[in-house]
Amino acid sequence: KTDTFNVSGEGVVTIKPDMATVTVGIQARAETVKAAQDQINSTINKVASSIKKLGVEQKDIQTTNYNINPTYDYTSGSQRITGYLASTNLSIKIRSIDLINQVIDSATGSGANQIGGISFDVDDKSKLEDEARQKAVSVAKKKAESAAKIAGFRLGRMVNYSESFDSGPQPLRMAVGAPAESVKLETAVEPGSSEIKVIVTLSYEIR
């Protein structure tokens, strides 16, 4: 039976987000379904047009949760429809993260009245994962060589490799949920940073 020696190494890479997704909400009230629909469609077009001028592509603007519901008046003791509320969300992917504050200001200035949330991410996660993995393997190998030298044994071939991500490259999220009135003037959203951490375990035969 061949004895084995296990050694672990950790590699950490800082994530600096290079893209973001912003969700903006649009609401409109009107006396008829068509009027509410026309209002909300007009606002969608204005928002989309304004942010496309900043460089956001049409394919990165998606309409979600499009709803039109009646509003009621119960004060007379009976249910009476008083109008209609139309609402929708636009999901906007921003591939140039420096534009995020301008996109928010432009969207709210064009009629969006809610900022539902902002998520940050990186375009090429696999490259960062590989970088963290290489660092972890390098650390583990140095540990193994140092231990072998100190303890007086020789490392044979590597017989097993395993890894785990302690804190994977999850998108950073910020729930804003603020009405347009509170995000006027200068919006100052900062993406911050996070980490990718990988822990590898190498198993060597001992000679």
Question: What digits encode the pLDDT tens for the residues 42-63?
Answer: 999 999 999 999 999 999 999 9
CA terminus-to-terminus distance, the chain: 11
Provide the pLDDT for residue 59: 95
Question: Mean per-residue pLDDT for 74-88?
Answer: 87
Provide the pLDDT for residue 179: 43
The conformation of residue 97, written as its DSSP 8-state character, comes to G
Closest to 132 in 3D by CA, of 170, 173, 169: 169
d(CA 200, CA 162): 6
**Rounded to 5 degrees, what are φ and ψ at 188?**
-130, 75
Helix (H) or strand (E) holding 137: helix 125-151
Mean pLDDT of the chain: 87
d(CA 22, CA 61): 10
Assess contact for 199 and 164: CB atoms under 8 A. yes
Q: What is the pTM of this model?
A: 0.68
**Rounded to 5 degrees, what are φ and ψ at 119?**
-125, 140
Question: What digits encode the pLDDT tens for the residues 20-39?
Answer: 999 999 999 999 999 999 99
Question: Mean per-residue pLDDT for 119-145?
Answer: 92
